[in-house]
Amino acid sequence: MSETACSRRGFLKAAGVIVGASVAAPALLASDAKKGGANLSYPPKKIASLSALKKSGEMDFNYPDADSPCKAVMINGEVKAYSLLCTHKGCPTMYDASAQTFVCPCHFSKFDAAKSGQTIIGQATGKLPEIMVEIKGDDVVAYGVDGLIFGRISNTL
């Protein structure tokens, strides 16, 4: 059997390539995750009528697809909308209008609806994905998602 000798220079070159790749890989993966995660634009979709939302105070809808349950709520005269899936284990949250929070019945995480869905307490470490909305006349139109929808590896359709 022949044994291949490795020079010191060859060893250092190989080690440099390995270290360089390990430093560059997280940055490349983070840029891919950002493209598929926050602020990704989806096709606009009417999710509610503003007048009906003002009367009821909240309205369920699906966005960006049928597998993504969401809720639009009125808070201080402003429309806010979030994915209902808890970021901890994906349990559907319930909206508590009196406290302006989304509450997960599975592990008791709470999210602040007035503050971009921030986690208040519980097992969840991330905020609820916020559905970006705009008002066009009497239409409430969703056009994107800020955050990763639970159960997906990216926010792509």
* pLDDT tens profile 83-100: 999 999 999 999 999 999
Q: Which helix (H) or strand (E) element contains residue 24?
A: helix 8-36
Domain that holds residue 39: 1-157
Per-residue pLDDT, 152: 87
Name the band, by pLDDT with cuts 50, 70 and 90, for residue 1. Answer: low
Give the three-class secondary structure for 118.
Answer: strand
Q: How far apart are CA 70 and CA 56, in angstroms?
A: 15
Catalytic residues: 88, 107
Contacts of 116 (CB under 8 A, 6+ apart): 127, 130, 146
Domains in the chain: how many in total? 1
Per-residue pLDDT, 10: 74
Name the band, by pLDDT with cuts 50, 70 and 90, for residue 7. Answer: confident
Q: Centre a 10 Å sphere on the Cβ of residue 24 and count the other Cβ atoms it contains.
A: 10
Name the band, by pLDDT with cuts 50, 70 and 90, for residue 157. Answer: low
pLDDT digits (tens, 9 = 90+) for 98-156: 999 999 999 999 999 999 999 999 999 899 999 999 999 999 999 999 999 999 887 76
Per-residue pLDDT, 16: 66
Q: What is the CATH number of the domain that holds 85?
A: 2.102.10.10
Higher pLDDT, 104 or 14: 104
pLDDT at 35 over 50: no
Q: Give Cα separations from 122 to 6, 18, 88, 109, 131 (angstroms).
A: 54, 39, 9, 4, 22
Q: How far apart are CA 73 and CA 102, in angstroms?
A: 11
